[in-house]
Structures are given as structure tokens and as C-alpha cells.
Amino acid sequence: MFTKEVVLEKERIASRVRELGQAITRDYAGKPLVLVGILNGAFIFLADLVREIDLPIAIDFIRVASYGNSTRSSGSIRFSKDLELAVAGKNVLLVEDIVDTGRTIACLCDILVAKKAASVRICALIDKKERREVPVAVDYAGFAIQEGFLVGYGLDCAEQHRHYPAVYKITGGI
């Protein structure tokens, strides 16, 4: 059995997503933009975020995994879905649920640069800087949270708990 404690209420998330959408709209005004959601975790955040961006955008997804069924990153990244859109010459905004160790997002940035993206920036719902193993800067961070294993609003534990409308810290019997 596990316990869960609310860390981010759904209203607070909605307000911050609105602010992020406004900032992205302002920063990319007049520029073509491709949002790349990192599956599975970012799908809820991305869906809400795109409705707050007032620009013509293209959307694609990439799927990678580094946690498997564990609460710790394995250190290796497994790809199971690559991009379908060409990103050469385009501004790309990677949308992630959480940036933790930085390994996955750094790898994806390198891949997008190799695909000749005009620019690559990062938007994450949660930025956990204190666990960084690879230096990456989150350009659009929803929230900085320092500790705890988080679930809800797309974040999962072994593919469970994504559906919660808020973000929770879970403990015990995960």
C-alpha cells in the first residue's frame, strides 16, 4: 500500500500552463514552431499546453524510456517511436513531464541538433535540478520540485497513476 500527498493542485497546474503558453507565444511570435511531446509522460501536459499557445504549430511525438518499472533511471535510453515530421530548419520545443537526471533530454537535444533543427529548447512541467547528472537548462519550467517520487498529470510509476488530475508525491509500497 502507498500513500499520496498533493504537491500541485490541478488549478495551480492550469494557471502555470497558461503562463507557459503565453511565454511561448510571445517568444516564438512570427516563427515556425514544432512541439515534440515525449511519450508517455508529456501527453497530458502537451495537450493542455498547445491550447494555451496562440501560434500556428506542428506537433509530433517521440517515445523513449529510461525508468522501465523502477523508480530510478536505468541510465540507458530506449527508443520506441521516432519523429515523423522533418525538423531540419525548424524551431523545436521539446515538451517533457519531468526533467530529472537530464540524460534523456540531453540525448534528445543532441539528436534534434543532428537532425538540423534551427533551434532546440525545452519545456517541462517539473524541473528537478538537484538530481541532475547531465547539465541541461529547462527554458520553460512549470515548477521546480526538489524531492519525492511524483505521479499524476502524466507522471507515472510503472505505467500507473498518470490519470490523476493533480501531481502527488507517493511513498511506501510503490
Residue 141 is part of a domain; what is its CATH number?
A: 3.40.50.2020
pTM listed for this prediction? 0.89
Element (H, E) at 24: helix 10-27
Domain residue limits at 90: 10-147
The reply to whether 152 falls in a domain is no
The reply to whether 116 falls in a domain is yes
Residues with a catalytic annotation lie at 100
Work out how many domains the chain is built from and give that number.
1
The reply to whether 70 falls in a domain is yes
Beta bridge partners of 83: none
Tell me how far apart the alpha carbons of residues 8 and 2 are, in angstroms, rounded to a whole number: 18
Q: Are 78 and 20 in contact (CB under 8 A)?
A: no
The reply to whether 34 falls in a domain is yes
The reply to whether 168 falls in a domain is no
C-alpha cell read off for 169: 508525491
The reply to whether 4 falls in a domain is no
Q: Which of helix, strand or coil describes residue 157? A: strand
The reply to whether 161 falls in a domain is no
Task: Name residue, grid cell 547539465.
Answer: 135
Length of the chain: 174
Per-residue pLDDT of the chain (174 residues; tens, 9 = 90+): 678 999 999 999 999 999 999 999 999 999 989 999 999 899 999 999 999 999 999 999 999 866 555 445 555 677 778 788 999 999 999 999 999 999 999 999 999 999 999 999 999 999 998 888 999 999 999 999 987 889 999 998 888 899 999 999 998 765
